[in-house]
Amino acid sequence: MELFSENEVKRILTLSVGGTEDKFICSHTIHGSYTNRNAILYAATQESPMRLVQLALEETHLWVKVNKRRDDLEWRRLARSQAERWSPPVNGSIKCNVHANWRNSMLHCGAAWIARDSSSLVKFHAREAFTCSASKLIAELRCIIWVLHSVRDLHFDQICIASDHKDTIAAISSPNQWPRYRFLLEEINHLSQSFSMVSFKEENISANLIVRDIAKSVLRDGRFQSYLAMGGPAWLPERLHREATYNS
């Protein structure tokens, strides 16, 4: 007993073979053929061979659609992961990641910055404890002023200041829209003129974790003594090396 007519066999043989989709069709058709043969032997019933091919095609298209969606999601996840990593500055400039660890208006504030070059090499890092600030934004702006003073004294000429606090970057970029903080913003503008190039960038939190940890150590561990040191902190070498490796 034949499962397929001569014309049906010719049509199946015209299908291209080699791709994942084709292998799926062939596998499904063979499986369907055995199922159909069993139906003939044990139930005396037979499903149309063309119906088997149609079902195989439908399931193949569904399989491809589902896996394409999965691949698209994986690609977007990878792209987002790449975007959230720390990225080095342009050649010849220094990138300073900064953070102010503000809890409330009654407590001191821990602040830190870490400066790296285009090769991801840590040049300096620093930690400071500030007196109480009325808001998170004020604490961040005071931190930026402190950083600008520090890098100017170190004779850096081209710098990028990166903060994960959105309002801080927005206020510096459009000071007229933040009149309440005019005094601090004017000081930042004045200090910025000391450099041949200075830019302010909003950083993802995931790309700012090292400096956040340094700033948090002020209140968490009672490290109220300020310092400036060459290189990176001795207690975070692995993470610094990992970030440098990601961007080498």
Let me know whether 77 and 122 are in one domain. Answer: no
Last residue of a domain, one of 30, 64, 84: 84
pLDDT per residue of the chain (248 residues) written in tens, 0 to 9: 445 556 665 565 565 545 544 444 444 444 444 444 444 444 444 556 667 667 777 777 676 666 666 655 554 554 444 446 889 999 999 999 999 999 888 888 999 999 999 998 999 999 999 999 999 999 999 999 999 999 999 999 999 999 999 999 999 999 999 999 999 999 999 999 999 999 999 999 989 998 999 999 888 877 778 889 888 777 666 766 666 655 55
205 closest CA partner among 85, 108, 92: 85
Whichever domain contains 159, its CATH number is 3.30.420.10
With vertex at residue 55, the alpha carbon angle to CA 50 and CA 60, rounded to the nearest 5 degrees, is 125
Let me know whether 20 and 141 are in one domain. Answer: no
Let me know whether 135 and 158 are in one domain. Answer: yes
Let me know whether 104 and 73 are in one domain. Answer: no
Let me know whether 116 and 71 are in one domain. Answer: no
Q: Do 200 and 163 contact (CB within 8 A), yes or no?
A: yes
Let me know whether 193 and 238 are in one domain. Answer: yes
Alpha carbons 220 and 215: distance in angstroms, whole number: 9
Residue 46 lies in domain: 6-84
Residue 62 falls within a domain, yes or no?
yes
